[in-house]
């Protein structure tokens, strides 16, 4: 169940250590390991490793804000359902923190707090970071990181949508069952009944005329 709620590369990302020097390109100017490949889900790597080892892969760049790792919303929103996670605008870009941060002070009296770590939030979100949302999924199972479109594609060509539509149509059919077409036996029975009704009506007319004549 958890595999359907969390992509396999997310937890390795959240437990990785970034901004260390690359073992291969340590002497270069851009040798800090601040890149992560969602396809390989391995160790972080530097700018130069990306072009040689991950040229056609899905790669995101990790940045720093107040000594904590963040990722731009624009880089992950097509890969993750990031709803319910607090975002911040830093250097004109909207970002979110990878993991929980130490509490600077008590959050008592805060209007909004993280459901996992209790950190005060700016808006009506449930979690302060991707890591806290992951903990919430494992603990309660009432959230999800996988986008609906990805679930449908993984299952196969919109199978989820088709199944939902089939179920919806089935409910409608149960509520409003269609009238079955008349069978040949039903048709013959109806004709006999109609003829019988005509004979009865004829006898009633004759009886009324006889009564009037008397």
Higher pLDDT, 2 or 192: 2
For residue 119, is it within any domain?
Answer: yes
Domain with 133 in it: 2-146
Q: Is residue 64 part of a domain?
A: yes
**What are the angstrom distances between the C-alpha of 191 and each of 85, 179, 187, 203?**
71, 20, 6, 19
Q: Tell whether 6 is covered by a domain.
A: yes
CA-closest candidate to residue 98, choices 67, 121, 120: 67
Count of domains in the chain? 1
CA distances from 183 to 8, 137, 173, 191, 196 (A): 58, 56, 21, 13, 20
Greatest C-alpha distance within the chain: 130
Query: What pLDDT, in 10s, does the model give residues 84-112?
Result: 999 999 999 999 999 999 876 555 677 89
Residue 24 falls within a domain, yes or no?
A: yes
Give the model's confidence band at 80: pLDDT under 50 very low, under 70 low, under 90 confident, else very high: very high
Q: Does residue 198 sit within a domain?
A: no
Entry pTM: 0.67
In a domain, 112, yes or no: yes
| In-domain check, residue 209 | no
- Lowest-pLDDT range of 42-51, 62-71, 136-145: 136-145
The mean pLDDT value for 114-122 works out to 92
Summarize pLDDT for 189-214 with one digit per residue, the tens.
555 455 455 454 555 545 555 555 55
Q: Is residue 55 part of a domain?
A: yes
Q: How far apart are CA 170 and CA 213, in angstroms?
A: 64
């Amino acid at each position: 169940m958890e595999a359907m709620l969390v992509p396999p590369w997310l937890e390795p990302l959240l437990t990785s250590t970034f901004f260390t020097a690359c073992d291969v390109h340590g002497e270069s100017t851009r040798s800090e390991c601040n890149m992560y490949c969602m396809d390989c889900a391995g160790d972080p790597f530097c700018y130069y490793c990306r072009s040689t080892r991950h040229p056609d892969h899905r790669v995101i760049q990790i940045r720093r804000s107040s000594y904590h790792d963040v990722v731009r919303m624009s880089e992950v929103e097509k890969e993750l359902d990031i709803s319910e996670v607090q975002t911040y605008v830093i250097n004109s870009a909207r970002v979110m923190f990878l993991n929980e941060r130490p509490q600077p002070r008590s959050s008592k009296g805060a209007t909004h707090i993280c459901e996992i770590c209790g950190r005060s939030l700016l808006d009506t979100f449930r979690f302060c970071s991707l890591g806290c949302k992951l903990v919430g999924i494992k603990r309660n199972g009432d959230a999800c990181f996988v986008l609906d479109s990805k679930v449908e594609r993984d299952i196969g060509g919109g199978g989820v949508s088709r199944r939902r539509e089939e179920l919806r149509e089935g409910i409608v059919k149960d509520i409003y069952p269609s009238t079955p077409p008349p069978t040949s036996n039903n048709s013959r029975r109806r004709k006999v009944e109609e003829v019988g009704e005509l004979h009865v009506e004829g006898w009633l007319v004759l009886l009324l005329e006889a009564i009037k004549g008397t």
